[in-house]
Amino acid sequence: MKSLKLLSLVLAMLVGFVSAAQQKIITGTVSDYNTVLLAGASVKIQQSGKETATNFEGEYTIAAQKGDSLIFSYVGCQLQTQVVGNKNVMNVQLTTSPPLPEKFGYNPQITDKQYLRLTESQIRNIDSVPSNKEPLYIVDGVPVKSQQIARINPYDIENISVLKENEATSLYGIRAYYGAIIISTKNEVYKNLTAEETAIELMKLPVPFSKKQIKKDLNY
């Protein structure tokens, strides 16, 4: 009986050694279409679900096995999948997501009251068309600036809906003149917050901007 237990233990150790031997350390960088290194880009192993993120230099390190599929993602960029081969260095350049159509499409499923939850203080003195020609961004029912959207981890997003001009302005007023993008997070962590509180919470998120965006915000 003791011999059987010992044999089982040895076999388990051998399996562990073989599995560890098959793993390799993959390193590399993630950049955007302008070759700007991205901080906070997600690197996930499709098979195991193991995930890491790039540092402020756009660099990442992850242990994977040959044949694993690495999924690279970043807000505003298309997902890219690379299969682990013989190389230990995998540098990835992401492309931007397809642009929205000139006229935003209407999603008839926008019926939840959270999309209408704008207080009087949030819309007071807003009587002109936005000069930046950008859509209005709504996170869990709260309007936020477009710069803050980049801090949301794409894996935290449950649903994204788009409203074209007429439907958007009927719900949110003139500042949605160029349409509205409605983002719902999985846990609705911003559902009961004001716009100011939402901005503060977004600043606390662990997914940072690229260095280029950080410098831009510091001068904002």
Average pLDDT over residues 190-202: 50
If you classify domain 2-93 with CATH, what class do you get? mainly beta
Report which residue type is found at 107.
N
**137 has a pLDDT exceeding 50:** yes
- Per DSSP, 129 falls in state -
Locate the DSSP E strands across 46-191.
51-53, 59-65, 69-73, 80-83, 92-93, 136-139, 142-144, 157-163, 180-185
CA distances from 122 to 13, 108, 143, 150, 179 (A): 62, 25, 9, 22, 17
pLDDT tens digit sequence for 14-67:
444 445 457 899 999 999 888 889 888 899 999 999 999 999 889 999 999 999
The tokens for 142 are: 């709260």
Going by pLDDT thresholds of 50, 70 and 90, the confidence category of residue 140 is confident
Question: What are the residue ranges spanned by the domains of the chain?
Answer: 2-93, 113-218
| pLDDT tens digits along 163-180 | 887 787 777 777 788 888
To which residue do tokens 């098959």 refer?
22
